[in-house]
Structure 1
Amino acid sequence: MTEVLTSPIAPGRPSTRRNDDVTRLLPKPLLVIVIAVLLIVVLTPVLYILFASINSDVSVAQGAFFPAELHLDNYVKIWSTVDLGTGLFNSVVVCGAVALVCALLAVSSAYVLVRYSFRGRLTVLRALLGLQSIPGTLMLLPVFVLFSTAATTLGIQIIGTRGALFITYLTFALPFSTWVMVTYLRGLPRELEEAARIDGASSWRILTRIVIPLSWPGIVVSAIFAFLLGWNDVLFASVMTSPESRTAAIALQVFGATQEGGAIPLYGQMMAASLICAVPVVVLYLVFQRYLVGGLTAGGVK
């Protein structure tokens, strides 16, 4: 007779604790120390910028970390000292448009590349990866010459407008965003689309009613990448913009350049302007954090 041995330990908290002990890479005391060190390394520069933005310029120049007295007027003066309002408006408009258009084009292009077989499909996929290896610095002069030639031929002013930045950022963001969506859509089950086709749904209806609602994490990652590409850019924005179409990054660059040499720079206002420009990105990450985790890990397990 064969006896069946059952474990006397009931499933529940002990099992969960055992699994946690197995999966933990470091002992708990050492893990706490590592996390504390990482937090110090990350938060110290942020706290320094925050304290310097409400400190006097002389105290910052002397190396003071904590402000002796609060100078909250730095956040008021910055709007008249630097053309920050125009820069933020241009950045939000251009980068927001790039993010929206890039996400829509990426998901539709990736759907065609993943679900349909046609001649040149593999070539397109390889080209998407190859385009990521080209530095943007090498493309500055060709893009500038191309826009100048197009302006001369068509008689339309391109350089110095928001449209020039929009086309430039979209060109560089679209390949990566498309590849992100290709990786994400490969993980979606085909059975959902096949069931919809049996019910008579067209490809467009499947894309808009099934694929896009299930692909929000990948779409958000693509959109945020495109947004940050334009928000952090200084190279192309310094060449493609005029004083009326400057982005926030260029406004900060111009303000910092004017503070070099001479009297004590306006450190407090510089730090305040930097924090103001960082707020939209931080809010963007906080709002879409749960989508970013799913989108960045899509395609990691096959």
Structure 2
Amino acid sequence: MSTTTATRQGPATVQVDRPGSHRQHEVLRLLPGPLLVIVLVFLGALVLVPVLYIFLASVNSDIGVANGEFWPSTVTFENYSKIWTSVGLATGLTNSVLVAGATAVVSAALSVSTAFVLVRYTFRGRLSILRGLLALQSVPGTLMVLPVFVLFSSAATYLGIQVIGTQWGLFVTYLTFAMPFSTWVMVTYLRGLPKELEEAARIDGASNLGVLFRIILPLSWPGIVVSGIFAFLLGWNDVLFASVMTRPESQTAAVALQIFGASQEGGAIPYYGQMMAAALVCAAPVVILYLIFQRYLVGGLTAGGVK
């Protein structure tokens, strides 16, 4: 079947490529085929080779890793069983899942309702709120460690509420930093949704909550997933606030890895295998989360990019 169609315009004949045709793909391709394959292989190796080395080191002996072996001379999976006691990874992973998961769910739920109000309603101070959310993204987290610590420690003195060293205190901290970004993601996404659907729902008698739950939420899953995953990553990867505001029983996996790595300094042969195994175990939930929601991530991240 031909991939082009002929259109008569006077005496001339214009060849128009059909969308998705082979010729159109050739025009859109930025690099030649062989060069594109080389670039993709190089980028893939740049990511996968370090991961492969970490895995091989996790099944190698500490002496073998210290000697610079890439392929282990003896393969053992004992490091994966030892990390649960030596690193204290079980407690850290539990706390990370609880805190980061709660931050992701609450941040996504609040951001979609907040963005709905900011996008669909006009009121005094609306633009100031949007600009304030954008300005909060430029504030480094290191500048906020001392103020947040002083504020939360003062709560125990003046209000009798213990915040420092608790899981919910860390949750409130992460939620404060996750909400501005999550709200901006949802604002960008909701601006691309057609207003006609909401108007049709209002004609049918739907209230504001009915429009939000029946129209906005079902259509906003890509944006909700993106905002939730970024909030989850904020709590999962954070070391700065978690190391200041936690105790041994409430520390996260990132803090447990930091403490275990620092305890190996100055030793004869550090536990390289256990360190690599613990790093892979801590990275696994994030990879699994991405694999599950990757189809939503593509739609959510590109929302608002084309008008």
- TM-score of the two chains, using structure 2 as the length reference: 0.94
110 and 12 in structure 1: CA distance in 2 versus 1, 3 angstrom threshold: closer
Show the counterpart of 2:136.
131
**Structure 2 Cα separation of the partners of residues 142 and 153 of structure 1:** 16
Whether 1:212 aligns to 2:198 is no
SS of 2:157's equivalent? helix
Mapped to 2, the partners of 1:259 and 1:211 lie a distance apart of 51
Q: Does 1:23 align with 2:56?
A: no
Say if 2:240 is the partner of 1:235.
yes
2:219 counterpart letter in structure 1: L
Distance 1:157 1:124 in 2: 31
Matching residue of 1:269: 274
AA aligned to 1:200 is G
1:83-136 alpha-carbon deviations (Å, 9 max, x no partner): 100000000000000000000000000000000000000000000100000000
Distance 1:126 1:243, change over 3 A: same
For the structure 1 residues 10 and 250, does the alpha-carbon distance in structure 2 shift closer, same or farther, using more than 3 Å as the test?
closer
In the TM superposition, what whole-angstrom CA distance separates every residue of 1:214-249 from its partner, at most 9, and x where no partner exists? Answer: 000000000000000010000000000000001000
**Aligned runs of 1:112-191 on 2, under 5 Å?**
112-191=117-196
Say whether residues 1:32 and 2:75 are aligned partners: no
Structure 1 position 5, deviation (Å): 6.5
**Partner SS, residue 288 of structure 1:** helix
Specify whether residues 23 and 12 from structure 1 end up closer, same or farther in structure 2 by C-alpha distance, changes over 3 A only.
closer
Q: Which residue number corresponds to residue 301 of structure 1?
A: 306
User: Greater CA deviation, 34-43 or 291-300?
Assistant: 34-43
- Spell out structure 1 runs of 4+ moving beyond 3 A: 2-7, 9-13
Once the two structures are overlaid, the 10-residue window that deviates more, 72-81 or 116-125, is: 72-81
State the one-letter code of the partner of 2:198: E
The amino acid that maps onto 2:290 is: Y
**Match in the other structure for 1:289:** 294
The code of the aligned residue for 2:146 comes to L
SS in structure 1 opposite 2:284?
Answer: helix
Change over 3 Å in CA distance of 1:11–1:23 after alignment to 2: closer
Cα separation, 2, equivalents of 1:3 and 1:48: 65
Partner of 2:79: 74
Identity among equivalent positions (%) equals 70
Structure 1: 5+ residue stretches without partners = none
Equivalent residue, structure 1, for 2:201: 196
- Deviations 1:15-63 (CA, angstroms, capped at 9, x unpaired): 7111111000000011011111111111111001000000000010011
Q: 1:62 to 1:183 in 2, by over 3 A?
A: same
Looking at structure 2, the residues matched to 262 and 60 of structure 1 have their Cα atoms a distance apart, in angstroms, of 15
Matched letter for residue 259 of structure 1: Q
CA distance in 1, matches of 2:209, 2:10: 60
Name the CA distance, whole Å, in 2 between partners of 1:184 and 1:12. Answer: 30
SS in 1 for 2:268: coil
Equivalent residue of 2:30, what SS? coil
Distance 2:253 2:87 in 1: 10
CA distance in 1, matches of 2:88, 2:267: 22
Distance 1:254 1:210, change over 3 A: same
Go from structure 1 to structure 2 and tell me whether the alpha carbon gap of 1:301 and 1:11 turns closer, same or farther (over 3 Å shift): closer
Corresponding residue of 2:110 = 105
TM-score (norm 1): 0.96
| Unaligned ranges ≥5, structure 2 | 1-8
Count residues with an aligned counterpart: 299
Out of 245, 250, 254, the position equivalent to 2:250 is 245
Root-mean-square deviation (CA), in Å? 1.6
Matched, 1:223 2:196: no
